[in-house]
């Protein structure tokens, strides 16, 4: 079974946009762009190879907080997975290019940039749950985790809305969401 990292290119496609970070909000339902677009499932997409051709639909490594087994409990985990949407199927309702990410050198240990980012994201996740807890709630959720990731990347997050109307993971139509994930 593939971990999704093999789907990345072998070399940089566009060096000018490589390592751009996109703050994304996914629609948990069939919200339209004119609806309140600060609600939904939050995450980031890091494009280490500069594959994105439309900043409204970024391509790269999606990093977000999930509940792996929603039938069993509300224990959270981080998911790092290839995201390459078909535009017509994209669940992204808001995408903001917030700048470039410089991966800390101590995490640049794998032959693949995507794997190195995953190491970094898992390290941030462990730190996050030590401070916030392991169970999805008003403190431990995709909004607060995304904010934590962006702050760890040294981005100013004061202009973004975090914590507004966070959907519980089981309210999100994950079948539609995962149409855009390549494994």
The answer on pLDDT for 70 being more than 80 is no
From the number of C-beta atoms within 10 Å of its C-beta (0-12, 13-18, 19+), residue 119 rates as middle
Of 71 and 4, the one with more pLDDT: 71
Of 70 and 120, the one with more pLDDT: 120
With the CA atoms of 142, 148, 152 and 156 taken in that order, what torsion angle do they form, in degrees rounded to the nearest 10? 100
Query: Any idea how long the chain is?
Result: 183
From the number of C-beta atoms within 10 Å of its C-beta (0-12, 13-18, 19+), residue 34 rates as exposed
Percent of the chain with pLDDT strictly greater than 70: 74
Q: For residue 158, what pLDDT is reported?
A: 83
Domain boundaries, the chain: 16-175
Three-state SS letters, 138-166: CCCCHHHHHHHHHHHCCCCCCCCCCCCCC
Q: In the predicted model, what is the mean pLDDT of residues 79-89? A: 79
Q: For residue 69, what pLDDT is reported?
A: 80
Of 118 and 91, the one with more pLDDT: 118
Q: In the predicted model, what is the mean pLDDT of residues 27-47? A: 71
Q: In the predicted model, what is the mean pLDDT of residues 98-115? A: 82
């Amino acid at each position: 079974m593939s971990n999704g990292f093999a789907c990345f290119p072998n070399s940089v496609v566009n060096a000018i946009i490589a390592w751009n970070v996109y703050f994304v909000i996914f629609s948990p339902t069939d919200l339209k762009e004119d609806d309140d677009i600060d609600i939904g499932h939050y995450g980031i997409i890091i494009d280490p190879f500069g594959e994105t051709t439309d900043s409204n639909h970024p391509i790269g490594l999606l990093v977000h907080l999930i509940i792996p087994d929603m039938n069993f409990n509300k224990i959270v985990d981080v998911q790092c997975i290839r995201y390459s949407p078909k535009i017509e199927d994209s669940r992204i309702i808001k995408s903001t290019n917030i700048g470039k990410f410089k991966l800390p050198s101590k995490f640049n240990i794998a032959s693949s940039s995507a794997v190195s980012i995953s190491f970094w994201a898992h390290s941030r996740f462990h730190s996050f749950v030590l401070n916030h807890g392991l169970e999805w709630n008003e403190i431990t959720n995709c909004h607060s985790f995304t904010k934590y990731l962006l702050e760890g990347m040294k981005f100013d997050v004061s202009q973004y809305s975090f914590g507004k109307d966070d959907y519980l993971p089981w309210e999100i139509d994950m079948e539609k969401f995962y149409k855009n994930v390549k494994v």
